[in-house]
Structure 1
Amino acid sequence: MNILKKTWGNILYIIAKIVSVVFDVFIGVVEFIVRIVISVGRGVLGIISMGGCLLIMILGPALLLNPLTLFGIVFLLIFPILGTKFISYLKYIKYMVTEYLFDHADNLIKGKKAEFGTFNEYGSKYRRIEEEKRRREQQQRQAEQQREWEERFRKWAEYQNAQRGSSGYGGYSSYGGNYQNTEYGNSYVNPNIEFKSKYEKSCDLLGVSYDSDKYQIKLAYRKKAKEYHPDLNKSPDATVVFQQINNAYEFLSDDNIERYKNIRGN
């Protein structure tokens, strides 16, 4: 009986390996095609920006109304979005199927208890893993943005101190609140202006007031993210808007909320 179980377990293991390889190859092919289409699309945009518009004006409506032209434009716009979603779905299916097979193969070969009993449970685990991965990436981006802003504010403070210390000498001059080091050829722009603008645009995108606290921002983000999540919202621009919402939420961190309050208070 144990021999039969181990034999069947080895068969399942081999099947799982084959399925994994087949998915990897298929996913690789789709990713390659998506990259090619994206590259072609960027090339077309580059040609248009360098004078392609004049060609379109010369050829007139005949070119624009040509079915092949319209199909090409739609394909270049839609395929990368659909292709990216399809790749994500393939990775989800691969994880769900292969983990199920590997776990049950180990159960038969080694007597190790399988983690789950159905494909859907492995699919739920995959979504949790991906969500945790996105959360870590979001935290890393927030930390990197925070370091960049800290560096900009630090340099601005140092430059202001140097400018005040120079008392108008040593090659420093000011223009409307933005200072320029003419001696060293470096220019420093007050980061408060850009920071304030970006903060308010992020608040506008989430639909919250500029004096909202982190809980109000988080609640608005969840509502907006759910509304524009590509899995729920089928509009063509859902993915772009969803990414913009995520970027806005990442920027509205606790540190940036406090920084904005300080800037407004000054």
Structure 2
Amino acid sequence: MGLSFKSPADIAKAIAGIAALKEKTSFGNVVILSFLAGVYIAFGGLLAEVVTGGMAAAGFPPGLVKLFFGGVFPLGLMLVIIAGSELFTGNTMYMTVGILTGTSTWGGLTKNWVISWIFNFVGALFVAYVLAYLTGILTVEPFMGNALTIAQTKALGGAEFLAAGKLVVSLTRDQAFFRAIGCNWLVCLAVYLAIASDDIIGKIMGIWFPIMAFVAMGFEHSVANMFFIPIGIFLGKVSWYQCIVNNLIPVTIGNIIGGAIFVGVIYWYTYLRGQDLSTSKVD
């Protein structure tokens, strides 16, 4: 059986076409699909925290724990891409290519980015509070300790804290920012590879490797953090100020740079520069 996939140039054109569709998506549909994307990414985060709960205390090497965490987290983007939804981080690439090719407008980009960011947050919070906190899944050991360590590491802005009897230093804002660039560079490449394939297995494999890599390397994803950090808030160890100022703001900016510039602009420049694709707009 032959393999079916798009060339890199054809993927870039497909992204411009998808941007045109996003430009015309109604406000209500963007809200619903953005909520779902937040839920789906949070599902991946919850699964990862449950799978790795207690592994460090049991003596597993840190690298192996990160590999297991990264190995199951891609569930979220698989649901986003295959089931369909509006994920802010992927949209940084889509809408940037749309602007550069004329298939979308600045107004459409602003609408898409703002709505998807806000309602990704709503969806992730829903899973964090209702499905992880109220259900008790992450309020018992060893899962609670794992979830708290992750939340505090991301949100305490360079402060030290105790985790399992050991002193841990949390990320500074600068570290979160630069890790976010690497994160969305890989996330958008995962989307790029998923678009390349015309079959489900190809899409899954294209998504899995880059997402596993960014998670295992410790990069920062704004929408995932909309799930990970609020768990620490609900458990009383992190504040909303720390969540937003120390993490979500620098990580969101870094994610925009990683997706818009290092994937969107570079592949537009390489494959689409000079081409008029404005006729790809959806009427």
**TM norm structure 2:** 0.31
Q: Which of 1 and 2 has greater Rg?
A: 1
